[in-house]
Chains A and B, each alone.
Chain A
């Protein structure tokens, strides 16, 4: 099925451990995004990639790094996990290259629930 696939769906980390969240889309979309969702705060943008080969910081980039591996894949890395990074992480994508989401809605993955203890 076409869409955005995130792995893993669940993960528990100890403080200081590292991990990479994977995201892949098969819709030939140009732009991809990583959000985190915390109770009562909606979704906040961590990083985004407007097109293959580019990445930019969002609202809450500290403690994260990203890689746009190719047009399909956009990974999010936590180098040294902290309890404050406990959250649900969503990847999203959209077709347009310029002025992202100018006329289209985003397609979201089903999320990765991360707990850092």
Chain B
């Protein structure tokens, strides 16, 4: 199946630092979503983006839908210890769908945030 290229795969953060991660694809998406997963739990939706160029914030989190509709990024400002976890991007294709079914989400492999030792 199709996949999104998410980077970096992992990163270490120190409290107070800003964090950036992004996802790219060879396909055009009409929706980009960002999720966070805490250890041992299911992912929780953070931000949803629906228009090219759209910039949306949720507290210290800011995400943008790329102009080309093939990428998205997520920024976390002034990180705190509870920001650790795995962040996933997800995209929804248009009419061409996925696996024959319109509308299924495609997920990146995740960016794992850990605290600097």
- A and B assemble together: no
Q: Which residues of chain A have a CB within 8 Å of any CB of chain B?
A: none
Q: Which residues of chain B have a CB within 8 Å of any CB of chain A?
A: none
